[in-house]
Amino acid sequence: MLGTFDYVNPTRLHFGPEALDALRDELPRYGATVQLAYGGGSIKKTGLYDQVTALLDECGKTVVEDAGVMPNPTVEKLYEGVRLARENDVDLILAVGGGSVVDYAKAVSVSVHCDEDPWERYYLRMEDVACDVVPVGCVLTMAGTGSEMNGGAVITNHAQQLKIGHVFGENVFPRFAILNPALTFTVPRYQMAAGIFDVMSHLMEQYFSGADDNVSDYLMEGLMRSLVHASRIAVVHPTDYEARSNIMWTATWALNTLVAKGKTTDWTVHMIGQAVGAYTDATHGMTLSAVSPAYYRLVMPYGLAKFARFARTVWDVDGAGRTEQDVAAAGIDALEAWARDIGCVMRLSELGVTEGMLDGIVEATFPMEGGYHPLTKTETKRVLTESL
């Protein structure tokens, strides 16, 4: 049975090869000063920086440069961004980049008018936003996180060896998101594979939970099938617009909150992946691919029917003459083979994890209750050891 829920998604999304032109409509809705947040320079190499600054200039905006948002944005960078926003009294934060830049922009937006330390308030104490937020808009350059149409923002604190995500309210969703799939053509192969696995993981975290047969399960099966199909094309032909556009749109739908409505969700793989990220600063999607096969094999007996359905529906596993157990196991094998084929990292040791880190990673993993089998610390250690 579908649970009870409210649903709103306030992000206005512009999709397609000419989507950047929508900045001409969007920018006039905000005041004169725009904080332009971007990463390590990919947007300068691709020419996107010049296009965006020309449009900001055309719309009469004063630009506050905010460069150098790193993958897995840090708490120190967050403090720097907040200082910049306060000093310049900015009216809009425009994030141009991948999920890291968009997350960072959201984390700054909820911190500018907040009197407390944002890391402590939002990430350690998980408290709600109780201050004005600075609006955020984004031009997305990489598909994966879904940050373009949700209220989440993940921040890493290396000193405390913690990487934590906070899901903020609807006022923190980007006001607008610009998605031109062609902008993702230049994403390095490793990042593309990581982004694709991230999308699959978002879907699996929401699919493998609850016994209900509801519309979300069917939606997610369709999204997973489309993702697998498009990913196989994109790894061979990175500039195939159709494949990249389907991946980009699937990424948005996988985590724009819709498919979680009315059902329970898991998120254990993300909690383990974030703990791995806190210790290694590894690429997010790769932390998920490395631990997923071991995790799903461990929980499979507790949700056997759903795993068998996943095998049949997403991976076309032929169940004739086989036990449900065999069918379900073949689905996880197919997931693992696909991830390896598209170039995902399947071993934690390749991400810099050592045996000596495992106890610390177990402690840094937030326990989740919504999956088929909440892990004990011993089981979390087992998943990590088997993934090493």
User: Site residues (CB under 6 A) for ligand NZQ?
Assistant: 39-43, 46, 71-72, 97-101, 103, 141-142, 144-147, 150, 152-154, 165, 183-184, 186-188, 191, 195, 198, 255, 270, 284
Sequence-separated contacts (24+) of 210-219 with Cβ below 8 Å:
210/263, 210/264, 211/305, 211/306, 212/1, 212/2, 212/263, 214/1, 214/2, 214/262, 214/263, 215/2, 215/262, 216/258, 216/259, 216/260, 216/261, 216/262, 216/263, 217/263, 217/309, 219/253, 219/258, 219/259
- Closest distance to ligand NZQ from the beta carbon of 73 (Å): 6
Q: Out of ligand NZQ, Zn ion, none, which partner does residue 336 contact, by CB within 5 to 8 A per kind?
A: none
Q: Would you say 82 or 154 has its CB closer to ligand NZQ? A: 154
Instruction: Give whichever of 259 and 317 is closer to ligand NZQ, judged by the CB atom.
Output: 259
Residue 198 interacts with Zn ion (CB under 5 A)?
yes
Residue with Cβ nearer Zn ion (90 or 290): 290
CB of 198 vs Zn ion, minimal distance in Å: 4
> Based on CB atoms, which residue is closest to ligand NZQ, 69 or 230?
69
Is there binding between residue 217 and Zn ion (CB under 5 A)?
A: no
- Residue-wise burial string across 26-52, b where 16 or more C-beta atoms lie within 10 A, e elsewhere: bbeebeeebbbbbbeebbeeeebbebb
CB 199, min distance to Zn ion, A: 8
Using CB under 5 A as the binding rule, whether residue 205 contacts Zn ion is answered as no
Please tell me whether residue 177 adopts helix, strand or coil conformation. Answer: strand
Q: Which is nearer to ligand NZQ, 141 or 250 (CB)?
A: 141
Radius of gyration of the chain (CA): 20
Q: How far is the CB of 203 from Zn ion (least distance, A)?
A: 10
Cβ proximity to Zn ion: between 11 and 147 the closer is 147
- Pick from Zn ion, ligand NZQ, none: which does 191 bind, CB < 5 to 8 A by kind? ligand NZQ
Q: Which does 77 bind (CB under 5 to 8 A by kind): Zn ion, ligand NZQ, none?
A: none
Which of the ranges 190-198, 326-334, 341-349, 379-387 carries the binding residues for Zn ion, by CB under 5 A?
190-198
Name 265's Cβ contacts closer than 8 Å, sequence gap at least 6. 205, 206, 209, 370
Beta-sheet strand order (sheet of 12-15): 12-15, 176-179, 136-140, 92-97, 33-38, 62-66
Instruction: Give the residue nearest to Zn ion (CB).
Output: 198
Helices (DSSP H) in 241-303: which residue ranges?
Answer: 241-254, 268-280, 284-299
Q: Residue numbers of the site for Zn ion (CB under 5 A)?
A: 198
